[in-house]
């Protein structure tokens, strides 16, 4: 009989604990009922503005997420020349001219450090050069449609590869052919020495 009483007391105490927890939660939420947070108007205010805390620069968005028709138009600064270099922006040109005019004639402007990040399709020619550096080989031409084509080849550096551009945008990336490793030499077994008499 005592066992039945103790089981009943345990069940009652667990129910009482559960009820106390529910009462505490209801009390806590009732304090928020006077706010507009849980009304339709409150929800509109909370979610009416786009959440931009994690927004990224255009160059940092994956190329698959970009709409090709929404890309900005390219300017002459976005194209490489025959040596694989990009035209310097106006601000960089002014900064490079300032030391030369202050009596340091012949001093070369320091090269800009490479931009961090990877290379993705639809990047401009100069965006790729900013990440991969000056290419070892540059081929500039045009296709059957009359669009500009460029092929930049990198055999080393952080992003080796063959980058093909159409109308100034990266359209294809190929791996650089790796040199063949020399075949290992076969060892010829040494002939056993025979004892001479």
| Per-domain boundaries in the chain | 74-97+116-178
Distance, CA of 92 to CA of 85 (rounded, Å) = 14
| Pair 143, 149: CB distance under 8 Å | yes
Rounded percentage of the chain residues whose pLDDT exceeds 70: 56
| Pair 84, 152: CB distance under 8 Å | yes
Whether the pLDDT of residue 2 is over 90: the answer is: no
Range from 54-63, 65-74, 97-106, 146-155 that averages highest in pLDDT: 146-155
For 69, 132, 177, 186, the CA distances from 183, given in Å and listed in that order, are 50, 32, 17, 9
pLDDT tens-digit series, residues 4-33: 545 455 566 677 788 888 887 777 666 655
What distance lies between CA 125 and its chain's CA centroid?
A: 17
Q: Which residues pair with 151 in a beta bridge?
A: 139, 164
- When comparing pLDDT for 99 and 128, which is higher? 128
pLDDT of residue 128: 93
pLDDT of residue 185: 78
Q: Which residues pair with 43 in a beta bridge?
A: none
Distance, CA of 168 to CA of 73 (rounded, Å) = 10
pLDDT tens-digit series, residues 29-54: 666 555 555 566 665 666 666 655 55
Whether the pLDDT of residue 189 is over 70: the answer is: yes
Whether the pLDDT of residue 135 is over 80: the answer is: yes
pTM (predicted TM-score): 0.49
């Amino acid at each position: 009989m005592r066992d039945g009483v103790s089981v009943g007391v345990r069940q009652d105490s667990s129910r009482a604990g559960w009820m106390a927890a529910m009462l505490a939660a209801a009390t806590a939420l009732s304090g928020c009922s006077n706010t507009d947070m849980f009304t339709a108007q409150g929800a509109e205010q909370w979610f009416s503005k786009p959440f931009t805390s994690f927004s990224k620069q255009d160059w940092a968005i994956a190329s698959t997420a970009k709409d090709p028709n929404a890309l900005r138009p390219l300017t002459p600064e976005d194209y490489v020349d025959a040596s694989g270099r990009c035209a310097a922006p106006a601000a960089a040109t002014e900064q490079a001219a300032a030391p030369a005019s202050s009596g340091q004639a012949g001093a070369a402007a320091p090269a800009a450090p490479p931009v961090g990040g990877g290379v993705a399709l639809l990047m401009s020619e100069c965006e790729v050069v900013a990440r991969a550096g000056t290419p070892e080989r540059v081929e500039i031409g045009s296709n059957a449609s009359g669009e500009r084509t460029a092929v930049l080849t990198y055999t080393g550096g952080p992003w080796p590869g063959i980058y093909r551009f159409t109308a100034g945008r990266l359209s294809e990336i190929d791996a650089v052919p790796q040199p063949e490793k020399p075949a290992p030499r076969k060892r010829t077994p040494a002939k056993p020495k025979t004892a001479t008499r």
